[in-house]
Structure 1
Amino acid sequence: MGKFHRILEPGLNLLWPIVDKIKYVQSLKEIAIDVPKQSAITSDNVTLSIDGVLYLRIIDPYLASYGVEDPEFAITQLAQTTMRSELGRISLDKVFRERESLNVSIVHSINKASEAWGITCLRYEIRDIKLPNRVHEAMQMQVEAERKKRAAILESEGVRAADINVAEGKRQARILGSEAEKQEQINKASGEAQAMLAVAEARARGLKLVAGALSLPESNNAASLMVAEQYVSAFNKLARTNNTLILPANAGDVSNLVAQAMSIYSTVTAHNKQVPHGEPIIPEIMSEDPMYKLSLNEKSTTFAGQPVPIEDESLAEYYSDDEERQKALQAQKEKKQQIALEKET
């Protein structure tokens, strides 16, 4: 009769007609309620329009029926006021960055207030946030500027990395080039040294063979032939270039020049046999006329164990006729006798 009697549990229940009457029916399922769009002001004085969805459940049917007149309307109004209160504590930037923490704060505030209604708020989700047009345009410009800044930074870093790679590549190329040039010079010097050594060894073997051949009795004819060939070859080379030369009067008399050369060779050979091993040979052949002075260079080398003058530096001049050659031979004999007397004394 207008007084709360009992709560009917799920299942079969008996009611007395006229006496018992079902006043409220509450669902214990989870309920989703749309929170209408409303305006809110952030801590940095930006007005925005925001709405959301509230998920709740009735845990106490008695309190939900007798603790509040309209639980759905009450919880919706509580969600709106709580949302405005929480938004007023944070700035606009944090609204977007900390949306999850904002939802948790709203749920916590609603549960504290709705505890007397027998309702628990499970979660709250912000669905849409609408900004004023001018604020939206400013945020778009800020986003574009930030993206341009990032693009410029990335581009500069790319250019920097490219320059570093190019510089490093040039550095490595120069290092490799210098090492290659160094190795090339080393190889070239080594090759030239080996070539010079091979030429020197070949010349030494050739000189030994020549020295051995000249020691034979029949070597005079071979020596005469070689001198004649070298004489003709020398004139052949002189004819190829424009040169101004002073030649003997009988430059065309090959036999006379060969005879002079063989006479000098015989004198040097005879003197070489008289000089003890190891002493340098420094003979001089002088005529009465100082224009016809024949001397051997002090530089010498060793053929077949005996020092002899170097061939290309030994003779200073050739004599032009037989009379001068005889004078030179006579001067040579006198010089040899003088050397022999000095050794005896």
Structure 2
Amino acid sequence: MAIRMCLNEHYDYDVMQEALTREIRSETFGVPAQYQIVRQAWNGFWGRVFFCVHKSVLSSTLKEEVSLGNAAKRLMSEVVAVKSRQRAPEWASLEVQMMEKILEHAKGNVEKFHCARILASGCSHGLEWPNWIEVSAHPGSLTLSNLKDFGWKPCEEFVYHVFIQLMDALFFLHKKCDPPIVHSNIFAENLMLDTRSEPHYPGFPNIILIDFGESDEAPSSYDYAECKLGRDRCMAYSVVYLLGIKASKGSRSAERNSDGFLEFQKMFPSSMYYRKEECSPSLESVWESFGETAKSARANTSPEQLREMSEIFTNASRENEDLLEMDLKRVLEQNLGQHESTA
């Protein structure tokens, strides 16, 4: 899912609502009637993602004797992300199938889950293919690509953390799922830093793989399957490699890059972009070489680095949440008059 919980530009609410109203009259952008759109979270070639609340939840909130501010804060935990598909019905159906299979393979063990979770899906406007998907939202979170907006040079311990949890996600998709599931779109923009949920590892945000719009099961042919799985590995290794370059360029990080980290970076040379994808190092070999090093380095993160990360992610989350809370207040105000007139 292309659920990019990033710092979006805060559009004028009335203008945004008018534009959204025009758009959702189209079959291809039809957000189901049971959702109240709060704001647009992302816009892409294949569809759009909206932060929404269920109208039933909104209605029950309006009945409570609380201030708009408190009501908006309560609704924050009820926000979901709804993706409406614009084109390619076959890919829309596949996206739903793959996300449902991923959840099925997790067998309810979602506490340590590193993939976006599907909550519901369906067809609207009489279409015969699922043109909308509801997934769990993490308002306030940001993506790995958003780190540049804060001028933060990630420390090597954070790079190791991303490596560990991204490898966990790939081991799950490629090894535990049967047949293996190929994500096909692993980029920094599709790695969400979940700062709201209980951390899988203290002091670090959870890494969640999002946007399963191009996912599919690996082909039965070994060579073709290895090519597709190898492409996933190449993209994942490239994310870690590029993040490591940013860490190496940091003023303090450059002085303290450990020998282990420099060796780790050599594993992901820029020439990887030009290698045959099926020849990319296997998950097992990469983890055997650097898994323990990564876990040990993360465990020894200094208090100073932990404080710096906490400050960065707290400020980013607060800014995102403040913008969303403002939109929720406007939604409440807009619906309050309608609620009072029907009471």
Which of the pair has more CA radius of gyration? 1
Quickly name the TM-score band, shorter chain normalised. Answer: under 0.3
Q: Give the TM-score normalised by the residue count of structure 1.
A: 0.17
More relative contact order, 1 or 2 (CA 8 Å, 6+ apart): 2
- TM-score (ref. length: structure 2): 0.17
